[in-house]
Structure 1
Amino acid sequence: MKFTTAILSLLAVSATAIELTPDNWDSETAGKVVFVKMFAPWCGHCKKMKPDWDKLMEDNKDSTTQLIADVDCTTDGKPLCDSNGVRGFPTLKYGDPSEAFPPL
């Protein structure tokens, strides 16, 4: 029973996670302060912080003023990581998307 509950909890968190890409950046970040984890799936530190980060995203999913999200630097999010000068993982960035994050 505990295993089933754990799996369902993970699925619930995964379903609410927002992964930012150049295609959805403007629509997802509009009017919000953004806290972003730029990561690589193979990164040990990223894997270790994932449960806490997922909980933070879940706890803030209904916020209309802030967005907590992921950017996968190995797939569609790579241009965002490149434009933000990401050189190591994870990289955390916080701020107004129009000021703290350089345009693509």
Structure 2
Amino acid sequence: MRETLWSLSVSERFHWSVSTKPTTSSCTRTTQLWRNKVAKIANNHKEVKFAIADEDEHSHLLAEFGLDDSGEEINIACYGPDGKKYPMEPMEEWEDDEVEEYITKMKKGKLTPHLKSQPIPKRQDSPVKTVVGKSFDKIVKDKSKDVLIELYAPWCGHCKQLEPIYKELATKVKKEKNLVIAKMDATANDVPEAFKAEGFPTIYFAPSDNKENPVKYSGGRTVDDFMKYLKEHATVAFKGKDEL
């Protein structure tokens, strides 16, 4: 049976992380203080991996969990076995009971994960539909539609080159009601593991009948290339039509 591992990260403002090598006796005492606090909790949860980290050195982690503006001294968060992020309500002072309650709820699946997301657009005027973290499931995982989605980064030169081609493609197929041409800023929104982007742009095709196993597009990047691919792989679009 596969062991389920949890990862709990604890950051405390202005204090050293366990991985930091302190250079003074004061730093050593501070580090040991937090090691002791975490170890006391860790002894009750052997299936959880625990760590402590300095807030300044690991500010990117706080941002990932939506805790960068918490304003509190202690911030705790966990990556669950589902890969999702579960932040705890920030604390001004360490409370064993509150931390224990948080871990217990997490293990029982009673916590709501944090989802990094831009605001959902109020209007979709472009033929290319804009997807954000909070609208991903509704749009991309809609089982009544085939979806081609581009994961991009605002600074990516290749993404900028693709933009007019992608828009032309979306305009060309806009009458296909069961086909969505979409894009999402993968630097500002959480992306589901199945749609992981290791470079930009990354394009996936999510057919209507298999949303959990999207196919990474690796073909050419002309309008004709995309059209050929979509007509060959669409499950609900283009049916009964030779041409648009």
TM-score by length of 2: 0.32
- Aligned-residue offset at 1:28: 2.5
Structure 2 distance, partners of 1:18, 1:25, is 11
Number of the residue aligned with 2:199 = 88
Cα deviation code 1:37-85 (max 9, x no counterpart):
110011010011110001112222332211111011122xx212x5222
AA in 2 matched with 1:95:
A
Count how many residue pairs are aligned between Structure 1 and Structure 2. 85
Task: Structure 1 unaligned segments of length 5 or more: list them.
Answer: 1-13
Query: Using the alignment, how far apart are the partners of 2:198 and 2:138 within structure 1?
Result: 26
Which one scores higher on RCO, CA 8 angstroms, separation ≥ 6?
1
Q: Which residue of 1 aligns with 2:125?
A: 15
> Are the aligned partners of 1:94 and 1:100 in contact in 2 as well (CA < 8 Å)?
no
Partner SS, residue 15 of structure 1: coil
Q: Using the alignment, how far apart are the partners of 2:199 and 2:152 within structure 1? A: 8
Separation in 1 of the partners of 2:136 and 2:184?
10
In structure 2, how many angstroms separate the alpha carbons of the residues matched to 1:63 and 1:18? 14
Paired residues for 1:56-67 under 5 Å? 56-67=169-180
Counterpart CA distance in 2 for 1:62 and 1:24 is 22
Counterpart code for 2:146:
V
Residue number in structure 2 paired with 1:11: none
- Distance (whole Å) between structure 2 residues aligned to residue 95 and residue 27 of structure 1: 13
Amino acid at match of 1:58: T
Q: Structure 1: which 4+ aligned runs deviate by more than 4 Å?
A: none
Q: Match for 1:33: what amino acid?
A: D
Q: CA RMSD in A?
A: 2.0
Matched, 1:50 2:163: yes
For residues 60 and 27 of structure 1, what CA distance do their matches in structure 2 show? 20
SS at match of 2:183: strand
Q: Which runs of 5+ in 2 are unaligned?
A: 1-123, 215-244
Which residue is equivalent to 2:152? 39
